[in-house]
Amino acid sequence: MQLVTTVGTPDEVSGVVISGKSLIVYGSKASKAYARAVDTTGKELWNLSLDQSPASIATAAAVDSAGDIWIAGATPLALGLTPPSPAATPVNPDNAAATPTTTVGNLQAVTIWKLTAAGVLASTNTLPTSSVVFPTAISVDRNGASIVGIIGTEKGSAGFFVNSDKAGVFGKLLQIGSVSTTTDAVVRHRDGSFTVAGSSSETLAGKKVAGATDGVLIKISKALKITSVIRSSAVKGKRIWNSATSTLLLGGEVVAGGKTETAITKFSSSFAPTWTYRFASTGPAVTVGSTYAAFISTGATPQLNWNPKVATPLLLTFDAKGAITAADSGPIGQKEVLGAVLSKELGLLVVTSSADTVSIFTLIPR
């Protein structure tokens, strides 16, 4: 893979999506959610602060067919104004207007910012919740959006799932689990159902834990009922599904027996695995379409003439039967694959982070 451009630092960049020929970078800087557009040379086209709250985060994004950008994040609940104490007389020699003090709660409101490709903030919608939230993924189509993430509970943390209509107006939030569950990826299906992927260390829909933490694949009906839970487990180990595509190509991590691996599995619409791989890695993986998977490789890959001496980004290409048809590596020094996006205008781009830089790579033409 070859470098396209760099777009910021890992503590400020959550991810990158593509709208037209623009790279849309989003994240949080100085505790404020932002989005900005750059071209493939790194030249900034626009930069937008998404929210006026004292604190906000932008953690996931997707682009619809019109090129509009949907960004999911969290904002605080305003708990009202704090009145001045009647016993205290403020010193105000210049009679300046006093600014009311706003008490701000934690980041308990799920938020969608919808932007045009030109960088105009078209709408902001929030959904107050009872606890701290962290959105992890968003999926959009012509009917609206679905957001998944993690929400704090009295006993630990749960996953959550919530829809919005095409105007960004939220529906009811569905909590998944109550003690130790995450939801990390979401797919919207044409029949109105949804697939959610993540991890869980507790019983879900009657399906008990098999390992220490299981990867979970959850089907949710149009009526927002959980209709199926498939668990992927490792004996005394941890499994997490980090990524899922509309074709149900899943990527995730497996930690068991002193080894850390990436799992890449193609599921059918009935959640039956059709092919699967394990690769020595740092764990998490990102999948794109029915073809690509990217992760940080740490060891020999039996299917390839590949045995890196240090952790190295690796992008694999699969055919319809799961055979590996191509492998492309990136430069060493990259610690994490943040994302991968595919567009007609810019092709496939892989987003990685090193200790101090977020970089975007593309395939070298063959």
pLDDT digits (tens, 9 = 90+) for 283-341: 899 999 999 999 999 999 888 889 999 999 999 999 999 999 999 999 999 999 999 99
* Token reading at 151: 């929400």
Q: Sorting pLDDT into bands at 50, 70 and 90, what band is 365?
A: confident
- C-alpha to C-alpha distance for 295 and 307, rounded to whole angstroms: 14
**Residue 328 class from Cβ within 10 Å (0-12 exposed, 13-18 middle, 19+ buried)?**
buried
pLDDT digits (tens, 9 = 90+) for 2-18: 999 999 999 999 999 99
pLDDT value, residue 143: 94
Strand partners, 27: 13, 34
Q: Sorting pLDDT into bands at 50, 70 and 90, what band is 79?
A: low
Strand partners, 182: 199
The pTM score is: 0.90
**Average of per-residue pLDDT across 106-117:** 95
Q: Is the CB of residue 315 less than 8 Å from the CB of residue 363?
A: yes
**Residue 322 class from Cβ within 10 Å (0-12 exposed, 13-18 middle, 19+ buried)?**
middle
**Average of per-residue pLDDT across 258-281:** 95
Cβ atoms < 10 Å from Cβ of 202: 16
pLDDT value, residue 296: 96
b (16+ CB within 10 A) / e for 48-77: bebbebebbbbbbbbbbeeebbbbbbbbbb
Closest to 121 (Cα-Cα) out of 66, 46, 55, 59: 46
- Mean of per-residue pLDDT scores for the chain: 91
pLDDT value, residue 124: 95
What share of the chain has pLDDT > 70, as a percent? 92
Q: Is the CB of residue 92 less than 8 Å from the CB of residue 98?
A: yes
* Token reading at 66: 């019109």
Q: Which residues contact 134 (CB under 8 A, 6 or more apart)?
A: 57, 59, 74, 107, 149, 150, 151
**Which segment of 87-101, 150-164, 190-204, 270-284 scores lowest on mean pLDDT?**
87-101
- C-alpha to C-alpha distance for 189 and 145, rounded to whole angstroms: 11
pLDDT value, residue 78: 65
Q: Compute the CA torsion angle 260, 311, 324, 340 (nearest 10 deg).
A: 100
81 in helix, strand or coil? strand
pLDDT digits (tens, 9 = 90+) for 153-174: 999 999 999 999 999 999 999 9
Query: Kind of pairing, strands 174-176 and 292-297?
Result: unpaired
Question: Looking at residue 167, what DSSP letter applies?
Answer: T
pLDDT value, residue 77: 86
Domains annotated on the chain, with CATH: 9-78+105-311 (2.130.10.120)
